[in-house]
Structure 1
Amino acid sequence: MELVLISGLSGSGKSVALNLLEDAGFYCVDNLPVVMLTVLIDMLRQEKISKVAVGIDARSGDGIELLPERLRQLEKNGVRYSFLFLQAGEETLIKRYSESRRRHPLTTESRTLEEAIRRESELLAPLAELGHRIDTSDLKANALRDWVRQFISGTGEGGLTLLFQSFGFKHGLPLDVDLVFDVRCLPNPFYDLALRPLTGRDAPVIAFLEASPDVLRMRRDIARFVADWLPSYVRDNRSYLTVGIGCTGGQHRSVYLAETLCREFAGQAPRVLVRHRGLA
């Protein structure tokens, strides 16, 4: 069975992810109580259903703390799973709820929207460490669909996925990175008017950056650090390691380094991916 678990904060895009999985042929169940997880999977295995996606969040009741134990049970029973946790910044969630005029599931007469978001973050914090995290704060729905599609394309392969993610510090630090490298000290193509509208994928920007010894040195240093510590993350049984590379705007320097590092590490992990938050 191919099992994908979707969790995360309300308003972070779980419905978008589950709808995509349903379109991809998964049997989807949302808002499942954790205590029912093993029962559901046993039933679906008997029915020979091979692709299943389950949404678990704060609406699932007080049994959330039981999830790690239920997942261990599934593994003992030969069920391999992938876990995707979606999150977003508090300001983003408040804005989304204000625009949609929907009610947060944890709001009450005595609990404001802000308090409900913080309470949910506290409840779900232990789950964020169970799998791969995606920060949807600055993502449009189409970009999130692409990232989820990329995630499920590797389900069932096993091993660690190494992800290089570029971003711009002016938009805030992503919530879903494990390691962060700040490359704002490098020469900036933004100040060349001919290069400003381009990105780190374009040949003129690449030539500009590779003409700088500091850029090449930074690339070597990041590559050496990741290569030295990658075996330790593999031994820790991680499914994903996300390496964030940030410049000011997330258009040039970080994009170039993420792309080149992705190519350099190809073959050194079961899957090596690249994402660009500033270009999404």
Structure 2
Amino acid sequence: MNRTPIVDLNDGQSFEQAFQAADKQLRVNRQGGKYILMKLSDQSGTIAGMMWNADEKMFESFDRSDYVFCKGRTQIHNGNLQVIVTSIERMDPSEIELSEFERFDAAAADQLETRLRELLGGLRNIHLRALGETYLGDEDLLGRLKSAAAAVSNHHAYPGGLLRHTIDLMEMCQAIGPRYPQMDTELLMFGAFLHDLGKIEELSSGGEISYTDRGQMLGHIVIGIQMLDEKIRSLQTDSNDRFPDELKLHLEHLVVSHHGQLEYGSPKLPVTLEAVALHHIDNLDAKITAYTSVIESDVAADGNWTNYNPSIGRKLWKNRD
């Protein structure tokens, strides 16, 4: 079955093809009419969809994560491409080509795992290296890290995105740290490894990426601190050696302060050089990745500029010729 990937859809284009229903909501408009607001996805990305004049029967005819055959047309709304669905029907998974919908790249994840092992295994600090081995020895944790997303939206919001973000930060720390001899580069790198690790428990990537109950109640910073305490306890039990209290304290501070500001979710402001550096390196990677996504998904007619994006308060230059 020939289909157009979401990333290649254009304004005003009719379609009759399969998607995966990433999310759905039954809503009521101002006139009392019901409609379905949905997110449709494939391997190339996600697009918002609307189905007008819907009812409960239509809404219940498919579930989140189901494959659905849709008819409709694309249109631009508030500067973004969306689809108006006129017909939707649940499909059996045997009717679709799974490779067109699987967003997790197992080969890339394996390469990133190899790089993670190189970075953690190459640490000269024996305590950090041993702690890294404790994390790497947890096969369940590592498997979930390889397939986890780094966010629900904005940046690295896809299966495998968390590990990509983690490796990028660790390599940036490895490159930047030596320029500032007052900083402990290996501590900074390990903080980059730990900073978002709690997201493997905070977010669920089954179907639409969403927050778990634990994620809603605690958040990834608290979860990350709990995981760190658990791994240090496990290391101490296995080695019969006490992990240095001061080193643990600095690792904890890197996790709790990496958002940089109290209003952005950090329980504490960064007060060490490593924590200040980690916050800015993390923010840089997140912003560049998010802005790149805005440019790549923009459908503005002006070839040089994106549409105005209210979430970032500006247009972005996108001409790469």
Q: Same fold (TM over 0.5)?
A: no
Which protein has greater RCO, CA pairs closer than 8 Å, 6+ apart?
1
